[in-house]
Amino acid sequence: MNKKLSKISLFILVGVLLLAIFILPLLAATIFSFKGMGGKGYSFINYQWLIEQDGFWPAISTTLRLAILAAILNLSLMVPTMVFLHLKGQKWKPLVDAICILPLIIPVVSLAIGAQVAMPGILQNTEYELVFFYVVIGLPFTYRALDTSLSSVPLKTLVEASRSLGSNWLNTIIRVITPSIRSGITAALFLSFALSLGEYTITSLLHWETFPTWTVVAAQQNILGAIAISVFTFAAAIILMTLIGLSTHKGSGREIVEEEHNYGMAE
């Protein structure tokens, strides 16, 4: 078969599918969400309705607050653990690997109900108990992200080089370890934050109101409003993630454009 032709037809197939199941519905929803009163003309009326709903701003602020806390807690737990595993605790790695995959295997319901009972009293009656669950469900993803990044640099040698050049541990962590696994930390941060933003099941089971649970209730009152919610959420997510991506990428030394290729230079 003609190779080039099959490549083109594959390209068209993917394009059509993408258009049919992703771009078209999204576009339709966006247009629809700007419909005016009673479906006539175009206006911002649905978005206005959304913003004026009771609990809109509190729900957003709760969600952001919890997601930020969860991401920070997750990383402050996982970065030192993973670095330690890669430097000194190779034999513990399978164990931690297994533990970190558990949240994917244990049904969310049993996790939520079971673990809540075991939670310390001070946490049990505040929304901050959710942070704990968000950290747990994020573990499998932060584990992979950090593991991949740590495996791609000769961390042990870099640390030994730093130490033998006279550096103490703190300086080694700040100036050598962190910058070398920056991409992994960014990815882990990203995943943990995004997961917490969108978490619905546990939050709903434990009867807390965050943006995802709030939208479900709000959406039942107004069809066009519900579509506006979807479009808003989608756009907000894209903007937020892009911002995180941009801010963590800046100033990373790896981004140097390889304009000069000095390989193969006569030595």
Partner 1 sequence: MSAQKRTSSTLELKGVSRHFGSVKALDGLDLTLVPGEMVALLGPSGCGKTTALRIVAGLETATYGDLFINGVRYNDTPVNERDMGMVFQSYSLFPNMTVAENIDYGLRVRKIDKNKRMKRINQMLDLVDLGPKSTSYPHQLSGGQQQRVALARALAIEPNVLLLDEPLSALDAQVRVQIREEIRRIQLDLGITTLFVTHDQEEAMAISDRVGVMRSGKLEQIDTPIDIYNNPATPFVASFVGMANRLPAEISGAGNVKVLEQKIPLSPLSGNLEKTKSAIALVRPEAIALTDEQDPLATRAIVAVKSFQGPITKLGVVIEGYPLIHIDLSSKEARKLDVGQKIAFKITADELMVENV
Q: Binding residues for partner 1, per CB under 8 A?
A: 153-154, 157-158, 160-168, 171, 175-176, 179-180, 182, 252-254, 256, 258, 260-265, 267
Contact present, 33 and 224 (Cβ < 8 Å): yes
For 39, list phi and psi in degrees, rounded to 5: 80, 10
With respect to partner 1, which residue has the nearer C-beta, 52 or 267? 267
Look up residue 178 and give its amino acid: T
In the complex, minimum distance from the CB of residue 107 to partner 1, in angstroms, rounded to a whole number: 42
Token digits of residue 41: 């003309």
Contact present, 60 and 211 (Cβ < 8 Å): yes
With respect to partner 1, which residue has the nearer C-beta, 52 or 258? 258
How far apart CA 195 and CA 166 sit, in angstroms, is 41
In the complex, minimum distance from the CB of residue 247 to partner 1, in angstroms, rounded to a whole number: 17
Which residues make Cβ contacts (< 8 Å) with residue 168, sequence separation at least 6? none
In the complex, minimum distance from the CB of residue 182 to partner 1, in angstroms, rounded to a whole number: 8
How far apart CA 62 and CA 128 sit, in angstroms, is 10
With respect to partner 1, which residue has the nearer C-beta, 1 or 170? 170
In the complex, minimum distance from the CB of residue 254 to partner 1, in angstroms, rounded to a whole number: 7
